Structure 1
Amino acid sequence: MSATNQSKTNITVGQQYVGLLERVLFSTLTTMPCCVFLFINGTLLFTLRSKPVFCETSRYILLYNLLFADTLLLAQSQLMYLLSACRIRVTYPVCGALTMLSKLTTVISPLTLVVMSMERYVAVCYPLRHATIVTIRNTAVAIIVVWAFSSLNVLIRVILLLIFSFQDLQSLQMKDLCSDIAMFLVPISEHYDKAYTCFLFVSAGVAVTSSYIGVMIAARSASTDKASARKARNTLLLHLVQLGLSLSSTMNSPLLTAISEIASRVVLVRIQIVFYVCVFLLPRCLSALIYGLRDQTIRPVLMYHLCCQLKRSVIPAKAERSSFVKFSGRPS
């Protein structure tokens, strides 16, 4: 009997060790690329503030807003993932703040893509009026409206959270891991989330698609610059891809709920990690890769800043090594 209990204990300890090792491995594999892209995003954000041309051009100002929201969401998503991987349970206020930040930045990205698509549409279809329509002031107003609309969504979610009677709880410490689903404390919160997500992405999809169709029609006109129309069409296609990837991140929870009914917990965790990498990490890195490498104005400045920062990290190490060798070569 004692041998059987000892065997069960060894199996349990072995499973816990394998589970711990797997969590450490996956955490490392997700944290390293996340840090790399946070570094690239941060360098691109600095690049977009390093030259007057970037600060005085509407599309670069909108790109900065998009990249800033994606960077915040990337950092927040990785923090939430590490909390889940380490099995750390936080309090309701902390989890609420993290999820509200996620909801804020998740809405800003598609709305900014809509504004960027409209800017490209005006540039191709109304080139003579582009300078008067797309001004720095109007761009700033559009960004303020985007943040206000996103903040209104967060405010409504906070009000729905306050409907829940927290005073009936013995402690504000959460019993489950922090996630978006865990903060659906009342049924109306989940219904509002689904309705708002559908409305947001259907509206954004219609706006970007309409801009693309308008550019396609304008490209057939003899008076339109063919090269400019082609570049605008490719840009709008990229906006559609980005919007689709952002939409896929909102469908993560329903998919995992459906998979949980047919898969074991271990398989579900692994699928969740794959979803996290493909749906959350990669889309937030696309903006830096697409615009940083594709835009002829941004690319040389971005590469310059990236190379300079890498040289600054390499040269001190070489200098320290050479001074150590020189010191060790002296006679005592």
Structure 2
Amino acid sequence: MVYANQTQTNFTVGLQYEGLLGRLFSSTLTTVPCCVFLFINGTMLFTLRSKSVFRETSRYILLFNLLFADTVLLALSQFLYLLASCTITLSYPVCGVITMLTNLTNEVSPLTLVVMCLERYVAVCYPLRHASIVTIRNTNMAIIVVWAFSSLNVFIRVVLLLDFPFSDLDTLQMTDFCSHLAMFLNPVSNIYDKAYTGFLFTSAGVAVISSYLGVVIAARSASTDKASARKARNTLLLHLVQLGLTLLSTIQNPLLIAISQIVTRIVIVRIQITLHVCIFLFPRCLSAFIYGLRDQTIRPVLMFNLCCRLKRSVVPAKAEKSSLVKFSGRPRLVTISGFSC
């Protein structure tokens, strides 16, 4: 989809007008936040696989799927950006594989958000039927449908791409940097991409807003758990913001084109970097913040994985010995809050 890599094309065009120092500065400003977000997402993924309660709960299974897609998307997009910063071009087949993987993971994210919002809607509005509707089997089926639907869309894009007469080219080596827009070799591909993007975001937006309104209405009912409804409402609102930030990237190019008429190219590059971090990188890490900091079940385990292992490596030997106590004549290690820090 255009909103995944559109900023990349603008970056690479602007970077051609900067020197080595400017390229290094621009690459650092995007790579450092991306590495931080990748570390947070990676730790969150490890956390969600470390305990059986996370592996056997539908909402956490959906969260793992969302984080996995966002993490792969971040890594691939930053890899393409760094290639462009180093003025490295790829062949059409290699670029096609990378961009199609980027498309696949980029389309899985909003669809998974929709499923997660529907799960919260069922939990609040139909609490007695939640256990029978949102089962592990149904959750896995929903994830399979999400990936299958996204894969079908990628397959259609590949078919449209193969319609281009590659045999007429002297070489398969690309003359431009690899990006999603560079693979629009057929005008039909561009039309299809715009139509699919509009359909996807319209459908996802309607589903999320409907779920949010349903939870708000249910919260006014006397039979509804007020605390649970309020928490679900806030979660849905954050997901709506997350979807909105992703949607903003679809209008980034027209906005930058308008701004470029009144400012210099160097200023445009700086604006592009800011927008890239705010509306492309940050939304892909927002799920980790939403659940990692707000969810009382995930937060202590996540904090342990982020901090406790580091602290344990610098604990002095004396402190380690003091944690041994006598139990039935044998020394045992005392555990704190379920973790052996």
TM range (shorter): 0.7 to 0.9
Letter in 2 for 1:39: F
Q: Which runs of 5+ in 1 are unaligned?
A: 1-14, 320-332
- Inter-CA distance 88–124: structure 2 relative to 1 (3 Å threshold): same
Distance in 2 (CA, whole Å) between partners of 1:266 and 1:87 is 18
Per the alignment, residue 280 of structure 2 pairs with 280
Letter in 1 for 2:174: M
Name which one, 1 or 2, has greater alpha-carbon Rg. Answer: 1
The question of whether the paired residues in 2 share the 8 Å contact of 1:119 and 1:134 is answered with yes
Distance in 2 (CA, whole Å) between partners of 1:216 and 1:130 is 18
Distance in 2 (CA, whole Å) between partners of 1:26 and 1:83 is 13
- Inter-CA distance 92–131: structure 2 relative to 1 (3 Å threshold): same
Q: Which runs of 5+ in 2 are unaligned?
A: 1-14, 318-341
- Inter-CA distance 84–255: structure 2 relative to 1 (3 Å threshold): farther
The question of whether the paired residues in 2 share the 8 Å contact of 1:111 and 1:204 is answered with yes
- Inter-CA distance 153–42: structure 2 relative to 1 (3 Å threshold): same
Distance in 2 (CA, whole Å) between partners of 1:266 and 1:164 is 35
- 1:179 deviates by 1.4
Letter in 1 for 2:160: L
- Inter-CA distance 76–255: structure 2 relative to 1 (3 Å threshold): farther
The question of whether the paired residues in 1 share the 8 Å contact of 2:44 and 2:292 is answered with yes
Distance in 1 (CA, whole Å) between partners of 2:154 and 2:295 is 33
Distance in 2 (CA, whole Å) between partners of 1:252 and 1:111 is 22
Per the alignment, residue 196 of structure 1 pairs with 196
Deviations 1:119-158 (A, max 9, x none): 0110011000000000000000000000000001110111
Q: Does 1:47 align with 2:47?
A: yes
Distance in 2 (CA, whole Å) between partners of 1:261 and 1:89 is 29
Per the alignment, residue 110 of structure 1 pairs with 110
Per the alignment, residue 292 of structure 1 pairs with 292
- Which structure ranks higher in relative contact order (CA pairs < 8 Å, sequence separation ≥ 6)? 2
Distance in 2 (CA, whole Å) between partners of 1:263 and 1:193 is 30
Identity of aligned residues (%): 75
The question of whether the paired residues in 1 share the 8 Å contact of 2:58 and 2:139 is answered with yes
- 1:69 deviates by 0.6
Letter in 2 for 1:71: T
Distance in 1 (CA, whole Å) between partners of 2:278 and 2:137 is 37
Q: Does 1:160 align with 2:160?
A: yes
- Inter-CA distance 16–75: structure 2 relative to 1 (3 Å threshold): closer
TM superposition score normalised by structure 2? 0.84
Q: Does 1:243 align with 2:243?
A: yes
Q: Which moved more, 1:261-270 or 1:92-101?
A: 261-270
Per the alignment, residue 335 of structure 2 pairs with none
Letter in 2 for 1:201: F
Per the alignment, residue 205 of structure 1 pairs with 205
Q: Does 1:129 align with 2:129?
A: yes
Per the alignment, residue 82 of structure 2 pairs with 82
Per the alignment, residue 10 of structure 2 pairs with none
- Inter-CA distance 165–257: structure 2 relative to 1 (3 Å threshold): farther
Distance in 2 (CA, whole Å) between partners of 1:103 and 1:17 is 28
- 1:19 deviates by 1.6
- 1:259 deviates by 4.5
The question of whether the paired residues in 2 share the 8 Å contact of 1:117 and 1:208 is answered with yes
Q: Does 1:148 align with 2:139?
A: no
Q: Does 1:301 align with 2:301?
A: yes
Deviations 1:239-263 (A, max 9, x none): 1011111212333344445545655
Letter in 1 for 2:167: Q
Letter in 2 for 1:284: R
Distance in 2 (CA, whole Å) between partners of 1:190 and 1:251 is 15
Letter in 1 for 2:181: I
- Secondary structure (helix, strand or coil) at the match of 1:48 reads helix
- Inter-CA distance 300–272: structure 2 relative to 1 (3 Å threshold): same
**RMSD, aligned CA:** 2.2
Per the alignment, residue 216 of structure 2 pairs with 216
Distance in 2 (CA, whole Å) between partners of 1:217 and 1:91 is 54
Query: How many pairs align?
Result: 303
Distance in 2 (CA, whole Å) between partners of 1:44 and 1:306 is 9
Per the alignment, residue 21 of structure 2 pairs with 21
- 1:175 deviates by 0.9
- Secondary structure (helix, strand or coil) at the match of 2:173 reads coil
More helix by share: 1
Distance in 1 (CA, whole Å) between partners of 2:99 and 2:259 is 23
